[in-house]
Structure 1
Amino acid sequence: MGRLVALAAALAVGILLFYSGARTPEPLPASASGQVFSAGRAMADIEAMAQVPHPVGSAANAAVRDRLIVRMTALGLSPRIQRAIGQRYEARRSEAFGALAPVENVIGVLPGRDRSLPALALMAHYDSVPGSPGAADDMAGVATALETVRAIEAGGTPARDVMLVITDGEEAGLLGAQAFFDESPLARRIGFVLNMEARGGGGRAAMFETGEGNGGAIDLYRKTAPRPSATSLSVFLYKQLPNDTDFTVAKAHGATGLNFAFIGREFDYHSPSSTPAALDQGSVQHMGDQVLGVARAMAFAQALPRREPDAVYGSLFGLVLVSYPQAAGWVVVGLIVLLLGFAAWRAQRREPIGWVEVARGAGLSLLVLAACALALHLTRLLTGFGFGWIEGRGLLARFAAFEVAMALAGAGAAVSVAAAAGEGRARITGAAAALLAGVACSVLGGDIAGLIEGGLVAVLALAVFGRPARLPESWLGLLLVPLAAAVALQVLAPTTAHTVAWPLLVAVLAAVVLDLGRARSLTSWAITAALAAASIAWTGELMHNLLQGLDVPELPAAPIWLASLSVWPLAWPEDGPKFRRLAPGFGIAASGLVLALGLRFTDPWSPRHPAAAEPLYVIDRDQGRAFRVSPFAPDPWARAVLAADGGLVQRHSLPTFRQPVWAALAKGAPPSSPSPLVLLHGPGGALTVRADLAPGEQLDLVLRADAPVGPVEVDGKPSPILSQPGQTAHMSWQGPLRAMAISLRPPGHGSLQVQYARYSPDWPAAASSPQARPVDVMLWDRAGATIVTGNYNVRW
Structure 2
Amino acid sequence: MGRTIVLALALIAAALLAWLQLDPPRVRPADAPADRFSAERAMADVRVIARAPHPMGSHANRLVRDHLVRRLTELGLAPEVQAEDVWDQREGRELVLAGGRVENVIGVLPGRDRAAPAVLLMAHYDSVPGSPGAADDAAGVAAMLEIARALKAGDPPARDVVFLFTDGEEVGLLGARAFFAGHALARRVGFVINLESRGGAGRALMFQTGPENGETIRLFARSAVRPAATSLSQFVYEQMPNDTDFTVPMEAGIPGLNFAFVGRPFEYHSPTATPERLDRGSLQDLGAQALAATREAATAEALPTRTPEVVFADLAAWVIAYPPIVGWAILAAAAALLLVAAVRARRLDAAASWMDLAQGAGAFLYLLLLAAALLRIARRATGTPFGYLDQFELYARGPLFEAALVVIGLSATLYAAAALARGKTRIEAAAIPATAGLACSLFGGFDAVGAGIGAAGAVLGLVTFGRAASLPGAWAGVLATGFLTACAAQAAAPTAAVLLVWPIALAAASAALVALAAVKSFVDTLIAAFVAALGLAWLGPYLHMSFLAMDLPEMLAVYAALAALFIWPLAHPRIGGGGRLTALGLLVIGIALIGVIRFTDPWSERHPQPATLAYVVDTARRQAWRVASAGEETAWARQVLTADGGTIARRPLPPLYPEPVAAAPARWLDLPAPAATLATGLEGARLLSILPPAGARSLTIEIRPTVALAELAVEGNRTGLTAPAGQWTRIRWVGDPDGVSLAFRPEGAGRLEVRYWSAADAWPPGAIPPPPTPRKVMPFGASGATLVVGELQAQW
Check conservation: 1:57, 1:695, Cα contact below 8 A: no
- What is the SS of the residue equivalent to 2:653? coil
Task: Name the CA distance, whole Å, in 1 between partners of 2:786 and 2:662.
Answer: 14
Contact 2:374/2:437 (8 A) holds in 1: no
Give the residue type in structure 1 aligned to 2:68: L
Partner of 2:502: 502
Residues 517 and 524 of structure 2 are in contact (CA less than 8 Å); yes or no, is this contact kept in structure 1? no
Q: Is the 8 A contact 1:629 1:661 kept in 2?
A: no
Aligned CA RMSD, in angstroms, stands at 1.8
2:15 & 2:597 partners in 1: Cα distance? Answer: 22
Give the direction of change, closer, same or farther, for the CA distance of 1:668–1:143 in structure 2 (3 Å limit).
closer
2:321 corresponds to? 323
Structure 2: distance between partners of 1:413 and 1:19: 23
Q: 1:373 to 1:255 in 2, by over 3 A?
A: same
1:583-614 deviations in whole A, cap 9, x for unaligned?
21111121111111111122222222111111
Distance in 1 (alpha carbons) for counterparts of 2:140 and 2:401: 28
Pick closer, same or farther for the CA change 1:769–1:723 going to 2, 3 Å: closer
Aligned to 1:359: 358
2:330 to 306, 329, 332: 332
Equivalence for 1:412: 411
Contact 1:226 1:293 in 2 (8 A): yes
Structure 2 residue 163 is the aligned partner of structure 1 residue 161: no
Match of 2:618 among 617, 620, 630: 620
1:95 to 2:94 alignment: yes
Q: Which amino acid aligns with 1:368?
A: L
Bigger mean CA deviation after superposition, 725-734 or 232-241: 725-734
Alignment pair present for 1:175 and 2:171: no
How far does residue 620 in structure 1 lie from its aligned partner after superposition?
3.2
Q: Which TM-score applies when normalising by structure 2?
A: 0.96
Cα distance in 2 between the residues matched to 1:439 and 1:110:
62
Describe the shift of the 1:298–1:695 C-alpha distance in structure 2 as closer, same or farther (beyond 3 A).
Answer: farther
Over residues 202-255 of structure 1, what are the superposed CA-to-partner deviations in whole Å (9 max), with x where a residue is unaligned? 100100010222111111211211110011011111111110111111112221
1:196-211 superposed matches below 5 A:
196-211=195-210
**1:574 Cα shift?**
3.9
Deviation at 1:469, TM superposition (A): 1.9
Rounded to whole Å, the distance in 1 between the matches of 2:396 and 2:481 is 37
Match of 2:68 in 1: 68
Q: Does 1:559 align with 2:571?
A: no
CA distance in 1, matches of 2:55, 2:739: 21
Equivalent position amino acid for 2:11 in 1: L
Aligned CA distance change for structure 1 residues 679 and 344 (closer, same or farther; 3 Å)? same
**Residue 88 of structure 1, CA deviation:** 1.4
CA deviation profile, 1:83-133 (whole Å, cap 9, x unmatched): 1012111334x6322111111111010001111110010100111111111
Contact (CA 8 Å) 2:413, 2:563: kept in 1 or not? no
Contact 1:329 1:494 in 2 (8 A): yes
Q: Return the alpha-carbon distance in structure 2 between the equivalents of residues 484 and 539 of structure 1.
A: 19
Alignment of 1:661-740 (within 5 A): 661-669=660-668, 671-693=670-692, 694-722=694-722, 724-725=724-725, 728-740=728-740
State whether structure 2 residue 467 is matched by structure 1 residue 467: yes
The 5 A counterparts of 1:318-717 are 319-349=317-347, 350-448=349-447, 449-575=449-575, 578=577, 580-634=578-632, 635-657=634-656, 660-669=659-668, 671-693=670-692, 694-717=694-717
Letter in 2 for 1:398: R
Alignment check: 8 A CA contact 2:676 2:792 kept: no
Q: Answer yes or no: is the 8 Å Cα contact 2:121–2:162 preserved in 1.
A: yes
Contact kept in structure 1, 2:83 and 2:101, CA below 8 Å: yes
Distance 1:377 1:658, change over 3 A: farther
Change (3 A) 1:348 1:757: farther
- Tell me how far apart the structure 2 counterparts of residues 368 and 659 of structure 1 sit (CA, whole Å): 43
Deviation at residue 703 of structure 1 after TM alignment: 2.8
Over 3 Å counting, the alpha-carbon distance change for 1:673 and 1:425 in structure 2 is farther
**Aligned-residue offset at 1:767:** 2.2
For 2:44, give the aligned amino acid: A
Counterpart in 2 of 1:152?
151
Q: Deviations over 1:589-645 (max 9, x none)?
A: 211111111111222222221111111112234443222111124222112211222
**Deviation, structure 1 residue 700:** 2.2
Higher deviation after alignment, 388-397 or 621-630: 621-630
Aligned to 2:131: 132
My pick for the range that moved more, 26-35 or 599-608, is 599-608
Q: 1:681 to 1:541 in 2, by over 3 A?
A: same
> C-alpha distance in 2, partners of 1:452/1:150?
58
CA distance in 2, matches of 1:756, 1:666: 21
Q: Which residue of structure 2 lines up, in the alignment, with residue 55 of structure 1?
A: 55
CA distance in 2, matches of 1:531, 1:574: 20
Structure 2 CA distance for aligned equivalents of residues 462 and 704 of structure 1: 58
> Could you tell me how far apart the structure 1 residues matched to 2:777 and 2:654 are?
27
Is the Cα contact below 8 Å between 1:368 and 1:561 reproduced in 2? yes
How many Å separate the matches in 2 of 1:611 and 1:436?
Answer: 34
CA–CA separation in structure 1 for the residues paired with 2:417 and 2:729:
54
Larger displacement relative to structure 2 (629-638 or 130-139): 629-638
Q: 1:362 to 1:712 in 2, by over 3 A?
A: same
- Deviation at 1:351? 4.3
Deviation of 1:656 after TM superposition, in Å, equals 3.0
Report how far residue 724 of structure 1 moved: 4.6
Secondary structure in 2 aligned to 1:555?
Answer: helix
Q: Which moves more between the two structures, 330-339 or 379-388?
A: 379-388
**CA–CA distance in structure 2, aligned partners of residues 616 and 731 of structure 1:** 21
Deviation at 1:316, TM superposition (A): 2.5
Task: Give the distance between the partners of 1:575 and 1:492, measured in 2 at CA.
Answer: 40
Q: Percent identity?
A: 43
| Cα separation, 2, equivalents of 1:642 and 1:556 | 41
2:592 maps to a residue whose letter is: V
User: Superposition pairs for residues 198-277 of structure 1, below 5 Å?
Assistant: 198-277=197-276
Which consecutive unaligned segments of at least 5 residues does structure 2 have? Answer: none
Deviates more, 1:679-688 or 1:329-338: 679-688
Corresponding residue number in structure 2 for 1:106: 105
- The 2-side partners of 1:285 and 1:454 are apart by 45
Matches within 5 A, 1:81-92: 81-92=81-92
